[in-house]
Amino acid sequence: MNLILLGAPGAGKGTQAEVICKEFNIPTISTGNMLRAAVKEGTEYGLKAKAAMDAGALVSDEIVIGILKDRIAQDDAQNGFILDGFPRTVPQAEALDEMGVKIDKVVEIFVPDEKIQKRMSGRRVCLDCGATFHTEYNPPKQEGICDSCGKELVVRKDDEPETVKSRLKTYHEQTAPLKDYYAAQGKLVSVEGQEEVADTSRLVLDALK
């Protein structure tokens, strides 16, 4: 089964992808994670991608389509996959079609912008061990300090309020048109993001039945 998770940044696609991955035993392919890894490693396309990512803009279709194509050719993706964060533009969706990739379903997780801004402004990450916290929903025991390794917690550059605003604008302008694209193919199902992650998961799994 080949699935796409659609939704604004911060709508909880990554978390739901983990749930679907366990339920159906198919890998999650996250272009955001692959790009962050490339930035960390300092590869050529990582260096090209960094400026766009820091500004809350999209990395070029050419780079992202190339990464995705290589990834879905790997062995573990042959029985299906969940795409998290791809496609993000109509040309990316068209590229998938041109590659002959058959998409079974597209699940949109809908969360209003105001809620996303609140969720993301409270997010704190440990750059050392990768643990994430939230000032309101999942606070660390000691403010500003990682429970796991004791290092300082920071606001990730792309979670800063101005960047979140740009990311949401980018989403509405460039990614939201994909809803019509996949609705026209009869593949779109929409789920409203709930306060509790488990409640959203139930709706997502129901939508996939």
Q: Tell me the catalytic residues.
A: 13, 88, 123, 156, 167
Cβ pair 21, 28 in contact under 8 A: yes
Q: How far is the CB of 75 from ligand AMP (least distance, A)?
A: 22
Residues 161-190, interacting with ligand AMP (CB under 6 A): 167
Annotate each residue in 132-151 with x if it binds ligand AMP (CB under 6 A) or - if it does not, as one string: --------------------
H-only helix segments in 133-196: 161-170, 177-183
Site size toward ligand AMP, by CB under 6 A: 15
**Contact flag: residue 35 with ligand AMP (CB under 6 A):** yes
**Contact flag: residue 50 with ligand AMP (CB under 6 A):** no
Annotate each residue in 82-121 with x if it binds ligand AMP (CB under 6 A) or - if it does not, as one string: ---xx-x---x-----------------------------
Q: How far is the CB of 60 from ligand AMP (least distance, A)?
A: 7
User: By C-beta, is 51 or 149 nearer to ligand AMP?
Assistant: 51
Query: Which burial class, exposed, middle or buried, applies to 95 when counting CB atoms under 10 A from its CB (0-12, 13-18, 19+)?
Result: buried
Pairing label, strands 123-126, 2-6: unpaired
Contacts of 159 (CB under 8 A, 6+ apart): 120, 121, 123, 125
Cβ pair 99, 69 in contact under 8 A: yes
User: By C-beta, is 143 or 172 nearer to ligand AMP?
Assistant: 172
- Evaluated on CA atoms 15, 18, 20, 22, the torsion sign reads negative
- Evaluated on CA atoms 156, 160, 166, 168, the torsion sign reads positive
Contacts with ligand AMP, residue ranges (CB under 6 A) = 9, 31-32, 35, 52-53, 56, 58-59, 64, 85-86, 88, 92, 167
